[in-house]
């Protein structure tokens, strides 16, 4: 049986992490009357029998047990109740079967320890909250743990960093299914940035500086208005009156990315918007996003989105959703 990716199962268990669970319900379970096309169909799947209590004293009622994972096309694993506690064998087996039959698996925060126990992350890159990254790598050495990013998309398996990064990962999945424009609409309803740049590095505690840091927000806005230009690190550093060496360090501290990586991220985001919302030619979009040749733009876009620009427009452009 072919699984429908829009059929979403959200795991629930005794000791449920309320915030992570709420993220999944908000994004995949909330009605979306603003869209004139089928949205996700979400159900709650019980890992444990009997009453399930979430943090804060909430009791959760499920729509079914683990047998209902047999038809789910997407499975969301919220933060696990205890990283030291192995997930139940029945849950491990159900997730392995779902994955083997084509379901997508997405973990939020410590939910990655459940996926790790299935062996499905072995040989893959994955992430979790920066506080748990060292433990994850130590206990599951076959996993390539990246503690710097907000989420990792390994195709059929997606892992997110700390709790709020689950929003980023879920919105990324929405963008995969419906395009960036629809994901942006969902983000606006959540009153959050559609695509947060940078990674976890910007949230890891650091010593308090003896003098206030330069505010780079103005520079980032200035740069976004000039994505069509061949911007250099020297230009950006000069703009904020820093040496290149100091600028590179401050930029990385503030965003978790190098200026080159951040620029590429912003250019790809702009390209998606233009491909979805305008009829401009691929050549013109390449120019507006700062690429010297159409071929370099096509290569960069394919590496970022997994599709050629023309195919992305065909799949996610406004005409497709009308």
User: Is 168 in contact with 196 (CB distance < 8 Å)?
Assistant: yes
Residues 40, 183: one domain? yes
> By CB neighbour count within 10 A (0-12 exposed, 13-18 middle, 19+ buried), where does 245 fall?
exposed
pLDDT digits (tens, 9 = 90+) for 289-299: 999 999 999 99
User: Is 154 in contact with 125 (CB distance < 8 Å)?
Assistant: yes
Residues 113, 151: one domain? yes
Alpha helical stretches, state H, 82-208: 89-100, 112-118, 133-139, 165-178, 180-190
Q: Is residue 313 part of a domain?
A: yes
Q: Is residue 79 part of a domain?
A: yes
Scan for tokens 């979403």, then name that residue.
8
Of the three residues 121, 156, 190, the one that is the final residue of a domain is: 190
Q: Is residue 117 part of a domain?
A: yes
Average pLDDT over residues 119-142: 95
Residues 60, 166: one domain? yes
> Under 8 Å CB-to-CB from 102, ≥6 apart: which residues?
2, 3, 73, 156
pLDDT digits (tens, 9 = 90+) for 64-80: 999 999 999 999 999 99
Inform me whether the pLDDT recorded for 12 exceeds 70: yes
Whole-number Å distance between alpha carbons of 123 and 143? 5
Of the three residues 159, 190, 221, the one that is the final residue of a domain is: 190
Residues 12, 139: one domain? yes
Q: Is residue 178 part of a domain?
A: yes
Residues 18, 155: one domain? yes
DSSP-derived secondary structure for 172-216: HHHHHHH-HHHHHHHHHHHTS-SS--S-GGGGS--PPPSSPPPP-
Domain hosting 122: range is 4-190
| Spatial CA neighbour of 143 closest among 119, 114, 108 | 119
Residues 38, 182: one domain? yes
Q: Phi/psi class of residue 266: alpha, beta or left (left: φ > 0; alpha: ψ in -120 to 50)?
A: alpha
Residues 93, 240: one domain? no
pLDDT digits (tens, 9 = 90+) for 41-61: 999 999 998 889 998 889 999
Q: Is residue 25 part of a domain?
A: yes
Give the CATH number of the domain where residue 220 resides: 1.10.10.60
Question: Residue 252: its pLDDT value, please?
Answer: 83
Average pLDDT over residues 2-27: 95
For the chain, the domain total comes to: 2
Of the three residues 162, 190, 218, the one that is the final residue of a domain is: 190
User: Is 195 in contact with 257 (CB distance < 8 Å)?
Assistant: no
From residue 285, how far is each of 90, 228, 260, 281, 298 by CA, in Å? 50, 9, 19, 6, 10
Question: Residue 161: its pLDDT value, please?
Answer: 92
Residues 39, 129: one domain? yes
Question: Residue 208: its pLDDT value, please?
Answer: 38
pLDDT digits (tens, 9 = 90+) for 207-237: 433 333 446 878 888 999 999 999 999 999 9
The CA dihedral of 37, 38, 39, 40, to the nearest 10 degrees, is: -160
Whole-number Å distance between alpha carbons of 144 and 136? 10
Residues 55, 161: one domain? yes
Inform me whether the pLDDT recorded for 13 exceeds 90: yes
Q: Is residue 198 part of a domain?
A: no
Give the CATH number of the domain where residue 170 resides: 3.40.50.880
Residues 47, 174: one domain? yes
Residues 86, 122: one domain? yes
Inform me whether the pLDDT recorded for 132 exceeds 80: yes
Whole-number Å distance between alpha carbons of 164 and 150? 9
Whole-number Å distance between alpha carbons of 71 and 5? 10
Weakest mean pLDDT among 68-82, 170-184, 244-258: 244-258
∠ CA 83-48-160 to the nearest 5 degrees? 40
Residues 22, 132: one domain? yes
Q: Is residue 203 part of a domain?
A: no
Task: Quickly count: other Cβ atoms within 10 Å of residue 3's Cβ.
Answer: 17
Q: Is residue 161 part of a domain?
A: yes
């Amino acid at each position: 049986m072919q699984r429908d990716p829009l059929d979403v199962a959200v795991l629930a268990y005794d000791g449920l992490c309320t915030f992570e669970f709420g993220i999944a319900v908000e994004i995949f379970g909330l009605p979306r009357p603003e869209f004139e096309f089928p949205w996700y169909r979400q159900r709650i799947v019980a890992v444990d029998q009997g009453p399930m209590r979430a943090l804060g004293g909430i009791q959760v009622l499920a729509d079914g047990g683990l047998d209902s994972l047999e038809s789910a096309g997407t499975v969301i694993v919220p933060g696990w109740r205890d990283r030291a506690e192995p997930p139940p064998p029945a849950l491990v087996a159900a997730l392995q079967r779902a994955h083997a039959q084509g379901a997508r698996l997405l973990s939020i925060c410590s939910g990655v320890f459940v996926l790790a126990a299935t062996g499905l992350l072995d040989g893959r890159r994955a992430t979790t909250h920066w506080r748990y990254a060292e433990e994850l790598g130590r206990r599951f050495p076959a996993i390539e743990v990246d503690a710097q990013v907000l989420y990792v998309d390994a195709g059929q398996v997606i892992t997110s960093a700390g709790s709020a990064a689950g929003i980023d990962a879920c919105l990324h999945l929405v963008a995969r299914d419906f395009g960036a424009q629809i994901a942006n609409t969902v983000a606006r309803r959540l009153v959050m940035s559609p695509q947060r740049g940078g990674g976890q590095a910007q949230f890891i505690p650091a010593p308090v500086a003896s003098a206030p840091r330069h505010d780079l927000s103005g520079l980032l806005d200035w740069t976004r208005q000039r994505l069509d230009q061949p911007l250099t690190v020297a230009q950006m550093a000069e703009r904020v009156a820093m040496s290149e060496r100091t600028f590179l360090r401050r930029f990385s501290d503030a965003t978790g990315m190098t200026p080159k990586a951040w620029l590429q991220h912003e250019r790809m985001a702009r390209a998606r918007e233009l491909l979805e919302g305008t009829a401009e030619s691929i050549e013109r979009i390449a120019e507006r996003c700062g690429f010297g040749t159409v071929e370099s733009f096509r290569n960069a876009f394919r590496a970022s989105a997994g599709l050629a620009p023309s195919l992305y427009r065909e799949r996610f452009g406004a005409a497709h959703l009308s």
